[in-house]
Structure 1
């Protein structure tokens, strides 16, 4: 069983999974396992099955919940079986060889905590990709606060890590974000669905409510682990 499980919710982009896996094979040192989560109503589900089967990637298929709820569901289910769990988008690409061993070593050093690398887009500002010790997920009962669909979850991870003094940014570990906003991908329906003012505002309001009402209790629970 790998120390670190990276969960990748994906929809409509089986080609991205193949490209991610190519980068994964070139850069991963054996400390992490990859799990792809696809929707059972995805028109490209058979392509996901083929890509994952041919490359021996673990695939889980379930009802469409959107990115954050899917991530939380799987993280809660799998956290007891791994020292740490993490998130990549299907448009992230690990570039630094041994990134996974570095993440695991840093997390072991923290005991309880959150780490992230340089995505070449947000840099230290936001952990658009992340790994955290499983005790965080098990204590909170989620990896993304209930109600969030896609955006602002990286703000939550940074807020929590800073609040408990266990956030580690690794500038020499590159997990490149191949996003259309930095010209590294074409805009598609998935990007349009979440990168619009209405979707962003809906998630921002959920984040603001979490920040005001739930974060203090969440932080208290995590501090009790330290």
Structure 2
């Protein structure tokens, strides 16, 4: 049987995490094929309240030093053994019964096991794979699927970008499961309180990390294409990626976004335009918020 690994970094949310674990236990058809890898900061004593023994679940706790979201997911992946890898947040509730059977039925249709599948989170829905699902083989081919440089966001966007590039080259391996609900209980939807974990996140902290990883995403796409075409796989290493600070002036920011997005012909024009517009808006929003904070 196909084994599924759920990677879940968590901090200071034992009640929310217990809610997720309960929903997994209630809605999974074959719990024996599920493993849960939790990344918990070593200074977070709230993990003692996690009711892992109350559920018939295989749970491994990684209690380690505080790290970025990318590093947490990478550590969880290295400890996992599943054929299918799912990136989750703790503020999720699984709503679909037998979701694991639906998922494995989908993955069994893909001979080379190169795919990006994602459920309906009732927030971003089809627009973004908030909770990306990859095969272990895909993760290994990408070599650095969850870059440690990402502090708290953009990992799903990084993966989506790679698979949009792949689709643009004629290999559509993206599958959205509208009927599989992993509900994102986010505070922006008034489904949760704005707790300290949310407050600690720098909303714009990973924007220029995503920009800096453009070349890596191009290389990773080529790696997947080689694998699909059954060509030799290269041992690419991704080092010395320089992540620049946000440009001080709008002209420099626009130039950077144009170079990395609009001028990137390995992406479809509509997606290039979206990335350019999206990052311009976020850059301006960050500047406005900073100005307001400085003058408050």
What TM-score do you get using the length of structure 1 for normalisation?
0.89
Matched, 1:203 2:206: yes
Query: Pairwise mapping of residues 51-90 of structure 1 onto structure 2 (< 5 A)?
Result: 51-55=51-55, 56=57, 57-78=59-80, 81-90=81-90
- Specify the alignment match of 2:124 in structure 1: 122
Alignment of 1:27-66 (within 5 A): 27-30=27-30, 31-48=33-50, 51-55=51-55, 56=57, 57-66=59-68
Structure 1 stretch 6-15 or stretch 30-39: which is displaced more? 30-39
2:217 to 190, 211, 215: 215
Structure number with higher relative contact order (C-alpha < 8 Å, ≥ 6 residues apart): 1
1:104 maps to which residue?
A: 104
> Any stretches of 5+ residues in structure 2 without a counterpart?
167-171, 229-296
CA contact (8 A) 1:10 1:38 kept: yes
Cα deviation code 1:148-177 (max 9, x no counterpart): 011111111211222222111011111100
Contact conserved, 1:3 with 1:104, CA < 8 A, in 2? no
Cα separation, 1, equivalents of 2:107 and 2:213: 25
Would you say the 8 A contact 1:95–1:174 is kept in 2? yes
Indicate the residue corresponding to 1:132 in structure 2: 134
SS in 1 for 2:219: helix
Post-superposition Cα deviations, 1:24-61, rounded to whole Å, max 9, x if no partner, equal 1221112432222211111323223xx22443533221
2:277 alignment counterpart:
none
Larger Rg: 2
2:243 maps to none
Query: Is 1:156–2:153 an aligned residue pair?
Result: no
Q: Distance in 2 between matches of 1:93 and 1:119?
A: 9
**Contact 1:114/1:161 (CA < 8 Å) preserved in 2?**
yes
TM-score with structure 2 setting the length: 0.69
Structure 2 residue matching 1:101: 3-state secondary structure: helix
Q: 1: CA distance between counterparts of 2:225 and 2:78?
A: 19
Instruction: State the Cα distance separating 1:2 from its structure 2 match.
Output: 5.5
**What do you get for the CA RMSD once the two structures are aligned?**
1.7
The structure 1 segments of at least 4 consecutive aligned residues displaced by more than 4 Å after TM superposition are none
| 1:62 positional shift | 1.4
Please state which structure has a larger fraction of its residues in strand: 1
Equivalenced residue count is 217
